[in-house]
Structure 1
Amino acid sequence: MTLSTTDSLAVYLASLSASDLARIVTMTPTVPEEPRPTTLRHVAVCLADPETALLGCSFLSRGELQLLEVLWAVAEERPPGGAARLGREAGPRLDDDPVVVVDPEALLGLVCGPDRREVRDLGPTLDALTGRVLAWPEDGRIRLHPGAASVFPLPLGLGAPAYGLLLGQRPEDLHAIVRELGGLPAGRKDDNAVLAARLLGDPEVVRRIAARLDPSARAALDELTEVGIRRDPAAAWGYYGPRTNGGRSDGFARLRRRGLLLPTGDGWEMMPREVALALRGDDYRVPFESRPPQVATVAADRAAVLRTSAASASAALDVAARLLHACAVAPPGLLKSGGVGVREMRRLARELVCDEGTVRLWLHVAESAGLLVADAERGRVLPTAAYDAWLDGEPAARLLVLVRGWVTMPDVPTLDVVDAASRPGTRPPAPLSGTSARGGLALVARGTLLRTLGALGPDRAVADPASLARCVAWVCPTPFRQGIDEMVAGFEPAEGAAYAPGHGHGQAADAYAAGSVVDAAGESAVETALDTVFDSALDPETDAGTDAGTEVDAEADTEIGVGGDLGDANCLVATDPGPVRPAEFPLVAPCGCADCRDVADEIESAYRGRFDAVAFTVTALHEAAALGLVAHGALTALGGGLAVQHSAAALLAVAEELVPPATRRARFRPDLTAAVVGTPAVELVRLLSGCADPEGPGRVWRFSEASVRRHLDAGGTAAGLLADLAEVAIGELPKEVADLIHEVGRRYGRVRVASAASVVYSDDEALVTELLHHRGLSELRLRRIAPTVLLCAEPLDEAVYHLRRAGYAPAAETETGSALVERPAEFRAESPDNADPGRTGGRTVALPMSEDTSEAWRSWAADLLESALRPPPPLTAKAARLHEAAPLLGPEDCLVLAQALDRGSAVRVAATAYNGEPMTSTVAHLAMAGDSLYMRPPNGRPALLPFRLETLWLVLPADD
């Protein structure tokens, strides 16, 4: 008996250990964490979801993808949604439940050949596929997950097996095919299909028939041997053009008569798999890169790596905190089209004393970490409530929030700048505009880079960016595109297609591929353009140069520098990008024919959002170095822990070694400065920022009359400030600092300004007379109405401003005579989203799962395996009847459903709806009539459910 996909998976899962089962479940997002499945069959139902296969394929290496493609190529049956139904929009459906199995001997014949040299490499690769539940053993054969059908619609350029294609032909056509192949037709259609499939499966018969073909038919056959499929517009639905019977059409007709080319509907024609393999020859072998390319490495100086990563991590905390504070005090405005404009970027860069590439990076990191949000309704970029919680945390915890924000960031902002600089007249997308097409590819690519670096070992550092990029693209090729010259070559076989020999412009295409993308030495233009940046990534103490790329300013025709040194966290963008291949490249067809346009559109669509491996590797290393994850080309301890997804507690312990606890003391100097060693605590920053001005991007503050007066304007006193500073001072407070505060405090408030339009008064009559006759205050038009009172023609804020500019220290008052407290306003986003700065939004799939699966999941897996060994519960009469009517349900499901029918309780069901789409729903008031379920509410008409009972595949008790 052939098992369904769900039952086959349940049998396979029952053969695993608890650790292996827990690892599979934690690597598969389609298995819910809450509520956890209660039986192995429930786990199998979740794993049978097509999304499991699609996500699993996204994390396979090149060798694993190659092997999986071979498995699909030699599978005994292709599921719907694959090549057998090419040209239709239907995908794999749960009720189809196709059985896809592979004979291991067929696999060995294509991959290993007679000598079987690669057999030892097949084992680990097959283990990786079973770990992703893309393939598993079943009765001496290999069972494939049918959800991957859409990933390999035409594996290895091979069509579907001959028998399935022959069944779709007309009986009279089958008679003719059997005669042409040298067989004796039978009476029944199925018998003729079996006979024709047997003849087409004999390589000698196929080669003998091919040798007798005329030149035009043989040329058409050679084309299809590599491609496997074609579309005849004259046979497509809705075609009303002229039907031609030229030489090539006659050649294809002769192939059809012999069964070498079989129609599949809507104009599509396919060469049977057996025919293509026979014509490719007995020596045909598929490419199988079982081992990754070698990465050029050098010995890493761990002491230097630790020093540099610690400095980078501290700098990251400093620049991120200052950027978020700048956004809180003066929120940047958003463009009407979305994102932060050039002027706002320049303003932030000036305030942070850094370049715009740094601002771009940290804006994206802060948004991804939930600390910042682009509020489209208010038209501003605002910190969230999580920003306040982040400020109160210790440096190590704050660093982890930034690191997690970078890991889950859907963009690569520095790569956007490099791509734009390669194309004159273009500029990168505005930060926080949400226009990136990368999506989940950036997450997968970033995790792949960290995993690849981690595999090199802690004592090795990367010496060559190109070798690392090749290895990264092998470890997980999904996010990366191949070279444009390889893509063009991939479309060459079909005569009449774009860039094909004989089309009239093949040479132009070759020149385009060779001249515009690859230089004379054969090295990618991206590698050449980014060598300078990677040199700085390997050695942060080396200057990356000062040549700057340019971007076009929409508001002013000026150049924006993007140069810098990786050792400085403020310089993060590639210098001198040169002719970098753009990330989104419109392939320009050398001529304007429809074939060229179609192929160009297909190439661009297939690779939209994917990365050039070298460009991504360099820029991602640059960003990782700014966070302390990479230093001198080697992965740091924090980066290594992130690559293997250590627990949050383990990562926090590593981060605490990288950045020390917050410093709550400062050293005050006679030159009126205060210096902090390490990362200052938030309360120390607030104290010093309220009475002193920060100097540059460092941790130094300078006192001045204006800065001390700012503290007094905010409601403080000179005595209170001296006490606060003495409490945080290392040693004695210098006399110069104390004298400055005393002097400002003595003078502060001798002149007071109140609202009238305004009133200036003082207890010192001589001082009031001095103000009345001061030439610098003539704009206030002061008038004495009492010995110590002056009337002012200007409002309060203007009067205070002019008095301070003249060198006085006025104290502002309200209308009631109380002191007017002046504190800078800070803004926050109204949305409560991302209130928890450590929240990542569920189980991440961006990085590989840890080998050390949590004890809770192992215990859960052990309980499931133990329960699977027990005999199934006895079925009641109603449950047995349900099991017959719903073969996809397990015994436990049938018992739950029977109990719901008896008690009228609600259940949560999963089934395939009448339209063929999977559905889940909670239903109550169930009743059964024949083989159908319907709802019978107490006060309503009975209603049929939107699914058939035989398509029901999961029943769970509804949540209370």
Structure 2
Amino acid sequence: MAVPAAGGQIARPPAVARVPAVAAPAPTLRPASLSPAAPARQQHPSRLVRHGPKGGTCNREHARGCRHADRCRQKPVSVYSVSTASLADHYRALTDEQLERLFAARPDLAVPVPSDFSVLAQRAHSRMSIARALDHLDRFHLEVLDALRLVAGADHRADQKEALDLLSGAPDFTVRKTLDHLITLGLAWPDGETTLRLPSMLDEVTSRYPVGLGRPVAQLIQDERTEDVAPILAALHLPSARQPEATALITEAFGDPVRLSALLDACPPEAIAVLERLATGGNPIGAIRDVRRPADPSDADTPIRWLLVHGLLVPLDASTVELPREVGLALRGDSPLGPLHSSAPVPAASAAVPADRIDGAGSGQVLEVLRQTTTLLDACASEPPPVLKAGGLGVRELRRLARAAAVDEPTAALLLEVAYEAGLLARTPDADPTWLPTAAFDVWQATPAERRWAQLASAWFGMARMPALVGTRDERDRAVAALSAEVTRSAAPTLRAATLQVLVEYPGPLATADIVGVLDWRTPRRSGRRRDEAIAEQLTEAGVLGLVAQNTLTSFGRAVVVGEDPVPLLIDLLPEPVDHVLVQADLTVVAPGPLEPALSAEMALVADVESAGSATVYRVTPESVRRALDAGRSGSDLHAFFAARSRTPVPQSLTYLIDDVARRHGGLRVGAAGSYVRSDDPALLATVLADRRCTELNLRRIADTVLVSSAAVGRVVDLLRGCGYAPGAEDANGGLVLGWPDAKRTAGRSARSTPRGANEISLDADYLAGAVAAVRRGDEAARAARRAPVLTQPGEADPGAAVGVLQQAARERARVWLSYVDAHGGVTARVVRPVSVGGGYLRAEDDRTETEHTFALHRVVSAIPTKE
């Protein structure tokens, strides 16, 4: 919002959102009526009254003949008609069912269970609790609450009829239903038949200006000096007066609809444009460079000075002005609250995409995500990335893992975060920790594809982490690392669920702007630029994981959102795992679909992936065959494997390759010396000894068939293989060391299977009923404690009489007032229900705390029966 400065310039107000200029209402501004006797509480004119023969709401007598009869018959009857003077008394007068609804709507009030209604009222009136309740309200609830605040006085009492008059532009049934819901939430409560009380804390957690209207003119000028308001009196043709009489005269003038309308009609066009922008822009505050109220009406040489001298703008300081509430109401005419939003916006309908096409695209993405996740975690196992000192995964390591899985870095960060949340990835507990797959990863790989995806999707949907933050800058201008604590956002699950819930309710392709519009209405207090960006990011993540395709939820994605099992839906969509491959003459092997887990593991051992997709292409190389031989397979095993699994004839080239590598495998033997190299072929050892590429091994001959080296066994094996030889490691007994190397794994972490949200508490019916009963029981005990009888002092009581009363109460299971000497020597009283008396001790139950206590009888001062 901007207001022209005294010299005609425009200055932007502080902390005020920029809004477009709003055209003047046509054709004539209709002023609002304000009572000069009570400037803080508006008496709205008859034009604001809804309907009826006397300007009131419809009643039974005339509803039949009223043109609003349909709406009148739908008017619900409020269940709240109790006259209460305080919030605690209001809660005390509610039924158990109403209290349960209160606790269900505001669960923070019931966790932990308050001890009595006074504690409940204090908790419900706290700043954090009210802010949390407001965060869950939609736009219309906040508009109704603003209407109540607008008509409420300094005592926070609002007349329901005045508020209903302001809300006449919305359906009456919706307004009354919303009012009842606000009462259910404890954000308003009845105080008589027609008055509602509001929590005073509302003013601290909501805008200072309800519905964008400023304060009444009386509040704005009551502290002004007499010489400062004298020009206003002169401009309005009012008699001269000193404060506070001057404030009363100006307030009376602004409360006269005819005079205020005439004053607005006399405004210069430039001045009326400024007023309209302040009245309809959502904030009555404007900033100008130099606020100088003219000392005389004839000195008003600019539009701003004209407004200042006539009191239509009131200066707050040297650079800020405020539009009085009376002026704002007059400019808004028949819409004193501005546009009302009684229902959620309905996104524009788009051409529906066939469900089978959506599910087909989503199921293809499911297979891709499973492959990418497996590749990423295998890359972590083969070369574990270190954990940063500040926690998380370094940028270079993330880039390396992304290249290994052939994905971009944001996708790699997303999949790693999901795997971490699902318990498939964790940091090792070492002194120099690294990121490693967990033992659960092996189990996950052996499960069917649909269950693997369901585990990942559930982890993503409920995790309190936002992978899109990876790579952004934090408040210290440092890059946010993947798998770090900086990625955690407690509100992420709530926003993720709300975003996808819109797609559940409005099936069909939805633009991001449509989803943002719906959420802006549902939770306007949570809106903002970063929230809108997060919605777009989560839709992108849902598309990567296969929950969303073409801006539409897949059937199995919808199941995840609504809490159903997606596995049965995915079973019908994913192709059946195949148990065969197609071996081709160029040493490539084609998998015509997703392979069975056992076949997939065997192919990963004997061949390298050349291209992935719906049909994965592998390539058999000398290195992959040697890898299989190192894992304990023999040449005949490999021949049998391809013969059994290939639907095409095994080409001769593959047979020759396997035989050649198997023949040379283990021709050299490496053992520990440091290490040694031996062979039955002295010529081969001579070749190795003469090979300059092996110089760094410091090999020397100790026999015709033995070389020794100071290097470790693994180093010798790796370097000889790099030089084109095919050595095999051997153990102390001279046998070849065969077998697949142990997979690197770390201890698992439990996966979170239930969605967690920011400040989201779900209470079941049993807890709600128990909480209500506990509050009533505690309140009864607290009120009884305030009516405690006069305590008998030590030495004045008859112990025998007290014991008799206690024994009688134990037999009848009755309650008594027990006075006893506590550990500090003072006399304390409490209501207890004796259980047994004997052996010098009293065992009694405290109904308030539901605990049993033991009292020494010699400390009992008195026992007085009390009424149940």
Cα displacement string for residues 188-222 of structure 1 (whole angstroms, at most 9, x for unaligned residues): x9xx9998999589444983996899999x99988
1:286 aligns with 2:333: no
| 1:590-630 deviation line (CA, Å, top 9, x unaligned) | xxxxxxxxxxxxxxxxx5x3435xxx665543321222222
Shift of 1:367: 4.7
Q: How much identity, in percent, do the aligned residues show? A: 27
| 2:492 counterpart of 1:447 | no
Once residues 674 and 959 of structure 1 are traced to their aligned partners in structure 2, the CA distance between those partners, rounded to angstroms, is: 74
How many angstroms does 1:362 deviate by? 2.2
Q: After the TM superposition, which residues 222-241 of structure 1 pair with which residues of structure 2 at under 5 Å, given as runs?
A: 227-228=283-284
> For residue 936 of structure 1, what is the aligned residue in structure 2?
none
Deviations 1:402-461 (A, max 9, x none): 3244335667656989x99xxxxxx9956528698994565554333212111114xxx2
Alignment of 1:752 with 2:658, yes or no, is no
2:374 to 321, 324, 342: 321
Paired position in structure 2 for 1:636? 554
Q: Which runs of 5+ in 2 are unaligned?
A: 1-82, 790-815, 830-847, 854-868
Deviation at 1:399, TM superposition (A): 2.8
Q: Does 1:462 align with 2:509?
A: yes
* Contact 1:203 1:278 (8 Å CA) reproduced: no
How far did 1:689 drift?
3.3
Aligned partner of 1:912 in structure 2 is none
Mean alpha-carbon deviation: is it higher for 745-754 or for 383-392? 383-392
Corresponding residue number in structure 2 for 1:563: none
Q: Within the alignment, does 1:624 sit opposite 2:542 as a pair?
A: yes
Tell me, in whole angstroms, the C-alpha distance in 2 between the residues paired with 1:222 and 1:735. 85
Structure 1 residues 640 and 193, CA, compared in 2 at 3 Å: closer, same or farther?
farther
Q: Is the 8 A contact 1:666 1:676 kept in 2?
A: no
> Structure 1 length normalisation: TM-score?
0.57
Unaligned runs of 5+ in 1: 78-98, 235-242, 421-426, 482-606, 883-897, 906-924, 931-954
CA distance, structure 2, for counterparts of residue 826 and residue 200 of structure 1: 86
Which of residues 382, 396, 399 is equivalent to 2:453?
399
Alpha-carbon spacing, 1:125–1:39, altered in 2? closer, same or farther (3 Å): same
Q: CA offset at residue 746 of structure 1? A: 6.0
Kept in 2: contact 1:229–1:269 (CA 8 A): yes
1:339-395 C-alpha deviation (Å, 9 max, x unpaired):
756644443233112333422432344455565568999586555676567556654
Distance in 2 between residues matched to 1:725 and 1:22, nearest whole Å? 65
Q: Note if contact 1:14-1:40 (Cα within 8 Å) is conserved in structure 2.
A: no
- Equivalent runs, 1:350-369 vs 2, <5 Å: 350-367=403-420, 369=422
Specify the alignment match of 1:770 in structure 2: 684
For 1:8, the aligned partner's letter is H
TM-score normalized by the length of structure 2: 0.62
The aligned residue for residue 172 of structure 2 is 119
Q: Which residue of the other structure, out of 634, 645, 657, is the alignment partner of 1:718?
A: 634
CA–CA distance in structure 1, aligned partners of residues 231 and 820 of structure 2:
60
Deviation at 1:753, TM superposition (A): 0.9
How far has the Cα of 1:857 moved from its partner? 1.1
CA distance in 1 between counterparts of 2:316 and 2:828 reads 40
**How far 1:675 moved relative to its partner?**
3.7
**Where does residue 105 of structure 2 map in the other structure?**
24
* 443 and 181 in structure 1: CA distance in 2 versus 1, 3 angstrom threshold: farther
What secondary structure does 2:707 align onto? strand
Corresponding residue for residue 858 of structure 1: 765
Structure-1 residue corresponding to 2:703: 786
SS in 2 for 1:311: helix
Does structure 1 residue 69 correspond to structure 2 residue 146?
Answer: yes
What SS does the aligned partner of 2:351 have?
strand
Say which SS state the counterpart of residue 54 (structure 1) adopts: helix
Separation of aligned partners in 2, 1:228 and 1:707: 74
Preserved CA contact (<8 Å) 1:353 1:697:
no
Whole-angstrom CA distance in 2 between matches of 1:100 and 1:395: 60
In structure 2, the partner of 1:697 is 612
* 2:532 corresponding residue in structure 1: 611
Residue 880 (structure 1) aligned to one of 775, 783, 787: 787
What's the offset of the Cα at 1:293? 3.7
Q: Label 1:337 to 1:843 Cα distance change in 2 as closer, same or farther (>3 A).
A: closer
Asked if the contact 1:753–1:800 (Cα under 8 Å) also holds between the matched residues in 2, the reply is yes
**Aligned counterpart in structure 2 of residue 108 of structure 1, from 142, 158, 164:** 164
User: For the Cα contact (< 8 Å) 1:374–1:382, is it kept in 2?
Assistant: yes
Alpha carbons of 1:175 and 1:899: their partners in 2 closer, same or farther (altered >3 Å)? farther
Q: Which moved more, 1:865-874 or 1:153-162?
A: 865-874
Letter aligned with residue 634 of structure 2? A
Code of the residue aligned with 1:768 in structure 2: it is P
Note if contact 1:295-1:471 (Cα within 8 Å) is conserved in structure 2: no
Match of 2:129 in 1: 52
Give the partner amino acid of 2:211.
L
The CA distance in 1 between the partners of 2:827 and 2:253, in whole Å, is: 50
Q: Which residue of 2 aligns with 1:240?
A: none
- Is the 1:206–1:278 Cα contact (8 Å) retained in structure 2? no
Q: Write out aligned runs for 1:216-255 (5 A).
A: 227-228=283-284
Q: 1:691 to 1:303 in 2, by over 3 A?
A: same
Distance 1:245 1:161, change over 3 A: closer
Deviation track 1:801-827 (CA, whole Å, cap 9, x = no partner) reads 354346543221356767657866766
Structure 1 residue 288: Cα displacement = 1.1
- What is the SS of the residue equivalent to 1:102? strand
Larger gyration radius, structure 1 or structure 2: 2
Report the secondary structure of 2:764's partner residue: helix
Residue 302 of structure 1: CA displacement? 1.7
- CA deviations 1:610-668 (Å, max 9, x no partner) are 435xxx66554332122222223322233334444x2xxx33555654776996x7424
Please tell me whether the aligned partners of residues 671 and 732 of structure 2 are also in contact (alpha carbons under 8 angstroms).
yes
Pairwise CA distance, 1:902:
6.2
Cα distance, 1:719–1:437 mapped onto 2, change above 3 Å = closer
Query: What is the CA-CA distance between 1:772 and the residue it aligns to?
Result: 1.8
Q: CA deviation at 1:312?
A: 1.7
Matched, 1:277 2:329: yes
